[in-house]
């Protein structure tokens, strides 16, 4: 019975990974969380990294959030480019987004280095 459950979970994981690939950076957090849960539940589904198992949920969420932030920044800049009168607001929004993205990338690197 255990192998039947593992087979079903493996099929579900593959389907969720396909959905995550289709959504790319806009993958809903529920899909990422379910992928992490399935990997944690079944040892053979866990990815190997640096000689051990690691939970990739944090990395996936950080990557998706940074990608979504960059996409949003592009949309904001495109919309703001039409209105030259609010240049200072556009620059402020740009600076805030860049600070947020820099902090998220830095935290992602720390998680990768310390194997969180």
Residue range(s) defining the domain that contains residue 100: 2-113
Predicted pLDDT at 51: 45
Predicted pLDDT at 82: 65
Q: Is the separation of the CB atoms in 23 and 16 below 8 Å? A: no
The helix or strand, by DSSP H or E, that contains position 18, with its residue range, turns out to be helix 2-23
For residue 76 the two structure tokens come to: 């904001």
For residue 62 the two structure tokens come to: 């950080």
Question: Mean pLDDT of all residues in the chain?
Answer: 76
Predicted pLDDT at 49: 52
The total of structural domains in the chain comes to 1
pLDDT digits 0-9 by tens, 1-36: 568 888 888 899 889 888 888 887 778 878 888 888
Give the global pTM: 0.47
pLDDT at residue 55 above 80?
A: no
Residue 77 to residues 11, 48, 103, Cα–Cα distance (Å): 41, 40, 21
Residue 66 to residues 24, 30, 31, 43, Cα–Cα distance (Å): 12, 17, 17, 29
pLDDT digits 0-9 by tens, 87-97: 777 788 888 98
| Start-to-end CA span in the chain (Å) | 33
């Amino acid at each position: 019975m255990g192998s039947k459950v593992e087979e079903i979970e493996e099929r579900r994981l593959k389907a969720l990974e396909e959905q995550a690939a289709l959504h790319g950076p806009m993958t809903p957090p529920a899909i990422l969380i379910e992928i992490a849960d399935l990997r944690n539940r079944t040892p053979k589904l866990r990815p190997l990294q640096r000689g051990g198992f690691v939970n990739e949920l944090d990395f996936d969420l950080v990557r998706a959030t940074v990608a979504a932030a960059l996409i949003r920044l592009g949309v904001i800049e495109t919309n703001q480019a039409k209105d030259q009168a609010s240049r200072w607001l556009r620059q402020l929004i740009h600076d805030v987004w860049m600070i947020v993205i820099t902090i998220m990338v830095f935290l992602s690197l720390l998680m990768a280095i310390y194997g969180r």
